[in-house]
Amino acid sequence: MNNSIEKLEDIRTLMALFESPGSLDGGGVTRLAYSPEEDEMHDIFRDWGERQGFIAYTDAVGNSFLENDAATAAAEEGEPCILIGSHLDSVIRGGRYDGVAGVVSGMACLKWLKDSGRDIPLRVAAFRCEESAGFGRSTLGSGLITGVIDGDDIADFRNPDGRTLAGIFEERGLDLHPQKIDGVSAYFELHIEQGKVLETVGKEVGIVEAIAGPRRFRIVIDGQADHSGATPMEMRSDALCAAAEMILAVEKIGQAESRFRSVATVGIVKCGPNVMNVIPGWVELGVDTRGINTISIDRMEQRIRISAENIAQERGVEITMARQYEDPPCEMSPHLMDELEQAARAVGATSQRMVSGAGHDALSFAEIVPTAMLFIPCRAGISHNIAEYTTDEAICTGASVLLNTISHH
């Protein structure tokens, strides 16, 4: 689609506002949760809102909000409003679009509604600590206010400086047990895709059908660490060779389930003793499986377990597998997906339905209100990396789809 010059200029101006906090040589940013850099991002967000005449406030966990007069009036009547949100923190050496593009799209919608004199109640949120890089757990800001995360469970989590979340909350006068957010009729989030699908198929926006749920395992392989020169080939139990078979088995299992849009990855390999002249006696693998179909995810787990038993037997090693972490897949609201699709058509943006392989703040909101996500392409699918890039045009197109959606909601 062709964006208007005025709207593009708005996106450019908004993105530029957020440029400096945590900027690194080479183009990326580091804005960890509850750090001065993240604080600065939130200050910029609220300051812009106040200058534009919107109401700006912070909630009990430090999330920032802007709302227009129509939203304030609606709240006084006990009527809900639409919420557009995303986050302003980043991973270490991350990009400047992950999260920010979504917050900027919401700010643009606020401005464009005001410019055109339309009284549509809209709130825009900038959430804290979406990235697990801060405290080892993702979507804290949105999770706490939706009741998806219990503050007691994360109080002792520490940031890279070793400080606990409870300590930081106390110092800042925040509350690990906030009131649940209310007055929201629907939640929308625009986000860069963080994958290559849209770029590959040449579509301008992606309408997320479901957010994949990760299920992660730790696999430990115990063999025998022997002298690599003195131990004949037939007398070995090489844990790393067993691990190699295990890794390929996981790949094959993921491939077989890809028609259900599941994926399986071995992302961690630790080898002991990791010495040139010793047969590896011990290996740990970290396995990440994800999908939107629970039956497929269950089947992957079962097949990985069977593979582990078979490889253990054939190779004379011991293999133990433990589930480390699990989040169920999360479906987006079919009704809101239709609305996004119609809006994309109305503004002339090409669209495609797709799966989100990564988690987002939308996961928290899907638990309490109808929720939808809109993806925009990012260059080569690169994200969580200083090379992350998307165009102002792409953000503007996505924001225009959101504007059209909320205008007809």
- Total residues at the site for Zn ion (CB under 5 A)? 2
Closest CA to 373 of 328, 335, 340: 340
CB of 102 to Zn ion, least distance (A): 7
**Which range binds Zn ion by CB under 5 A, 13-21, 98-106, 312-320, 343-351?**
98-106
DSSP secondary structure code for residue 215 in this structure: E
CB of 193 to Zn ion, least distance (A): 11
Q: How far apart are CA 262 and CA 277, in angstroms?
A: 39
Q: How far apart are CA 56 and CA 70, in angstroms?
A: 14
CB of 98 to Zn ion, least distance (A): 4
- The rounded Cα 234 to chain-centroid distance in angstroms is 47
**Which range binds Zn ion by CB under 5 A, 31-39, 63-71, 94-102, 280-288?**
94-102
CB of 383 to Zn ion, least distance (A): 8
- A 10 A CB-CB count for 180 gives 10
Q: H or E element: which one contains 72?
A: helix 69-76
What six digits make up the tokens of 324?
A: 């480390």
Return the number of the residue (101 or 145) whose C-beta is nearest Zn ion. Answer: 101
CB of 376 to Zn ion, least distance (A): 12
Return the number of the residue (61 or 126) whose C-beta is nearest Zn ion. Answer: 126
Q: How far apart are CA 101 and CA 394, in angstroms?
A: 10
Closest CA to 100 of 207, 91, 145: 91
CB of 9 to Zn ion, least distance (A): 25
Binding-site member from 28, 62, 85, 99 for Zn ion (CB under 5 A): 99
Binding-site member from 10, 37, 98, 238 for Zn ion (CB under 5 A): 98
Binding mask 53-92 for Zn ion (x = CB under 5 A): ----------------------------------------
Return the number of the residue (99 or 214) whose C-beta is nearest Zn ion. Answer: 99
CB of 360 to Zn ion, least distance (A): 6
Directed axis angle between helix 294-315 and helix 239-256, to 10°?
150
Name every residue whose Cβ is closer than 8 Å to that of residue 64 and which is 6 or more positions away in sequence: 42, 45, 46, 56, 57, 58, 125, 126
Q: Residue with structure tokens 């139990």?
A: 237
Return the number of the residue (100 or 186) whose C-beta is nearest Zn ion. Answer: 100
Q: How far apart are CA 305 and CA 94, in angstroms?
A: 35
Return the number of the residue (219 or 372) whose C-beta is nearest Zn ion. Answer: 372
Binding residues for Zn ion, rule: CB under 5 A, are 98-99
